Amino acid sequence: MIRLLALLTALLASPAGAEVIVAGLSQNRVAITANFDGSEILVYGAVRRDAPAPDGPLDVIITVEGPATPVTVRRKSRVFGIWINTASVQVARAPTFYAIAATAPVDTILSETENLRHKITIPRAIRAVGITEEADDAPGFTEALIRLNRTSGAYVAVPDGVTLADDTLFRTDIVLPANLTEGEFRVRVFLLRGGAVVDKFETPILVQKEGLERMMHTLAFEQPLIYGFIALLIAVVAGWAASAAFRALRV
């Protein structure tokens, strides 16, 4: 109810003659706990206007991007009957998760100029600057990285995944996998006409470990000796318990 009231308030405050995105999320925080098996984010909103809508189709693209990290992509080749790494490329920054949904196939509603400017599609979101000197066929390494992440579910593209009603209300559901990387995720909403971005909305989602997972993660990086002792103690207790169980079964 609070989010709906905020959305309506923003709609009433629209500047004249402009098309402006007013959007919200079903949740802006995701807690990773022991039984975490993924989550789902509802992204919804409306187009704010004080004048009749311009001519031409209206489209919406929504992206969810996880924290970016450097990635080394390696290529294996068969040498003397053995598969070994023969080439590698260092990608400067690649999102650990990337989902993109739109009202239509992205290549039909987004110009390459706007894609380059806002880095909307998955290939553009990956910063592969300067890799061309490191190996032959460097673009092929980037394509391999995208292919592997799509197979694992880390990169997701959903054409026609955004519902747009009356050129005003839009929504989509983004599924977050269980193996999320902790950190700040970025949600972006783009409003397009004629291949050009006419407005953009951005908001963060915080993904964070909680409970026992958070405590163990903190210990591992801030108190490694204590973490090692606890891990050793757990291993000893587990070994003793297994041994006791086997002895009980023999009786």
Residue 144 has pLDDT above 70, yes or no: yes
Give me the CATH number covering residue 12.
2.60.40.3880
Whether residue 155 is found in the same domain as residue 241: no
Cα dist from 83 to 71, 77, 86, whole Å = 21, 5, 9
Whether residue 227 is found in the same domain as residue 202: no
Beta strand residue intervals within 49-115, DSSP E = 58-65, 68-79, 82-95, 98-102
As a whole number of Å, the CA-based R_g of the chain is: 24
Domain end call among 192, 210, 228: 210
Which range among 4-13, 27-36, 207-216, 238-247 shows the weakest confidence by mean pLDDT?
4-13
Q: How many distinct structural domains can be found in the chain?
A: 2
Contact assessment for residue 209 and residue 30, using Cβ atoms and an 8 Å cutoff: no
Residues 180-202 have a mean pLDDT of 93
Structural domain boundaries enclosing 230: 211-251
**Mean pLDDT of the residues in the chain:** 80
Query: Tens digits of per-residue pLDDT, 46-101?
Result: 999 888 878 889 999 999 999 988 887 777 667 766 776 566 777 778 899 999 99
Cα dist from 251 to 200, 238, 241, 244, 245, whole Å = 70, 20, 16, 11, 10
Whether residue 34 is found in the same domain as residue 75: yes
Whether residue 198 is found in the same domain as residue 231: no
DSSP one-letter string for 125-143: HSB-TT-TTTSTTHHHHHH
Whether residue 29 is found in the same domain as residue 120: yes
Whether residue 200 is found in the same domain as residue 223: no
Whether residue 41 is found in the same domain as residue 151: yes
CA dihedral sign, ordered 119, 122, 124, 125? positive
Residue 2 has pLDDT above 70, yes or no: no
What's the CA gap between 67 and 238, in Å, rounded?
35
Residue 14 has pLDDT above 50, yes or no: no
| Number of CB atoms found within 10 A of residue 227's CB | 17
Whether residue 229 is found in the same domain as residue 203: no
The first and second tokens of residue 223, run together, are 């108190």
Whether residue 222 is found in the same domain as residue 147: no
Higher pLDDT, 134 or 64: 64
Whether residue 217 is found in the same domain as residue 206: no
Whether residue 149 is found in the same domain as residue 215: no
Domain end call among 177, 193, 210: 210
Whether residue 38 is found in the same domain as residue 144: yes
